[in-house]
Homo-oligomer: A and B are copies of this chain.
Amino acid sequence: MTGEVADLRAALSLLSWDQNTAMPEGAARVRGEQLATLQGLIHERWTTQRLGELLSELATPTQQAPFTDADRALVREVNRERAYATRLPRGLVEEMARVEASSFEAWRKARETNDFALFAPWLARTITLQREVADRLGFKATRYDALLDLYEPGLTSARVDALFAPVREVSVRLRQRIEASGHTVDASCLTGAFPAEQQMQLARDILTRMGYDFTRGGLSISPHPFTTDFGSPFDVRVTVHPHEDMIDDALMAALHEGGHALYEQGSAPQLARTPVVGGVSMGAHESQSRLWENEIGRSEPFWRGNLAAVRAVFPSQFANVDAATFSRALNKVSPGLIRIAADEVTYNLHIIIRYEMEQAMVNTSVAVESLPRLWNEKYQAYLGIMPPTDSEGILQDVHWSSGFGYFPTYTLGNLYGAQIYAAMRASYADFDERLASGDSAFALNWLRERMYRWGKTYLPEELVERVTGEPPSPAYFVEYLTRKFEQVYDLPAE
């Protein structure tokens, strides 16, 4: 039965991927029906009485004695799916799918025409539906906790607040120290004329150099970069969105989405078509996208080994740019409006704004019409800048056309990623030299062996502990960020 569900989910993933890459706008409504039907069929399968009986039988210690860790994870994941499905009635699940399809189209048009009013009624319906989901799933402290738990099992707002506090502190402090230093970074090599076609060629080359397997994937263009899997390591696709006046946006997106894709492609093949395949949580996933994008992909050693790929596509622009200059440019700190283009120092402030707004939407009765103003006020307060349009403000991300609880996992991923990166570096005395020689296969193998191949076998906290030797902590990220930007900006010691 789980194979059947896996195939229905694969079809569902394809319907979504297609919606983002190839589907004509005229098909939005009928696509909503298709998504709703498939989600309904999956829901039906998780809620059968027979499955409940099987799970009860498997709950006894005698039955579980011969289980492998993957077997236990299979039972755990099925129990989790069943709990979700039995608490949410089929009608609600189908309604959510329908609203999501229409909301996505409304968001796309609203962003194109800079008209939040087109999106507002759909966002309001999403808020209502998400509150109902929280009420039905149950929660201890706030409704938002119920939604968080869907993306990062066991996580609560209270825990997030505690984990995020040092991140907020170090971000603000570093920004102040950088401003106070008066030091600047020259990032002029990243802007100019970079035709989309060549950028796609570069993205393809960088993905290949990372170890992304194109015989089990593909690269396309979509309005917002993303990675899709279809329930197996055999088909994991990424998208980017090149802007012709800058090189770093699509390049870093390729490294970021490539990180997600390497994690998915790394699942042991025998996990395919089971609920244990693929990344275990959004935070664990983001740890890998950010590790490849930031810790590796913005480092000077990596570009010592890979700048040739950039020069091959844009020879005249990069003839006189060396790896140190390129890497420094990629690490320029400048508070900007767009989350996915943000530097590492301010990135988490973008997340914290969304996290706070989601809490307001779910836990309080804030009016939808007031949200653009709230968004803009927060940007002014945290990043010191005011979005000139809603398209560059509240309409920039696709996420709110589906729901809430996802955003905090980005920052959580930064914490996990820094901790895993520290453990990996500690395993190789010549880590930087290897990267600088153009080799990243050793890093991919290290991550595959310790993390990727397990899929969802271990829950995030246990997984991080198995990979790094200790439970998740914000300390590694704080240290990584501080050391890195002290160096990039040559900051005086504190």
Taking beta carbons and an 8 Å cutoff, which residues of A are in contact with B? 3-4, 7-8, 10-12, 14-15, 18, 21-27, 29-31, 33-34, 36-38, 41, 213-218, 220, 230-232, 234-235, 237, 272-273
Contact = CB atoms under 8 A, between A and B. Distances in A.
Contact of A30 (B24, B232, B237): B232
A215 B232 CA distance: 32
A40 to B, nearest CB: 8
A33 B273 CA distance: 9
Contact of A11 (B3, B15, B218): B15
A36 B11 CA distance: 12
Contacts of A213: 26
Interface class of chain A by DSSP: helix
B11 A215 contact: no
A15 B41 CA distance: 17
Given A22-B218, A216-B24, A7 B29 contact: no
The quantity of this chain's copies bound in the complex is: 2
Contacts of A10: 30, 34
A150 B10 CA distance: 29
B273 A7 contact: no
Contacts of A30: 10, 230-232, 234-235, 272-273
Given A4-B37, A7-B37, 8 more contacts: A4-B41, A7-B38, A10-B34, A14-B15, A24-B216, A26-B215, A30-B273, A31-B235
A284 to B, nearest CB: 23
Which interface residue of A12, A30, A215 has the most chain B CB atoms within 10 A?
A: A30
A14 B21 CA distance: 13
27 contacts: A3-B33, A4-B37, A4-B41, A7-B34, A10-B30, A10-B34, A11-B12, A11-B15, A11-B34, A14-B14, A22-B237, A23-B235, A24-B214, A24-B216, A24-B218, A24-B234, A25-B215, A26-B213, A26-B217, A26-B234, A27-B232, A27-B235, A30-B234, A30-B235, A30-B272, A31-B235, A41-B41
A139 to B, nearest CB: 33
A44 to B, nearest CB: 11
A305 B105 CA distance: 37
Contacts of A38: 7-8, 11
A32 to B, nearest CB: 10
Nearest to A18: B14
A43 to B, nearest CB: 13
A38 to B, nearest CB: 6
A273 B11 CA distance: 18
A216 B6 CA distance: 29
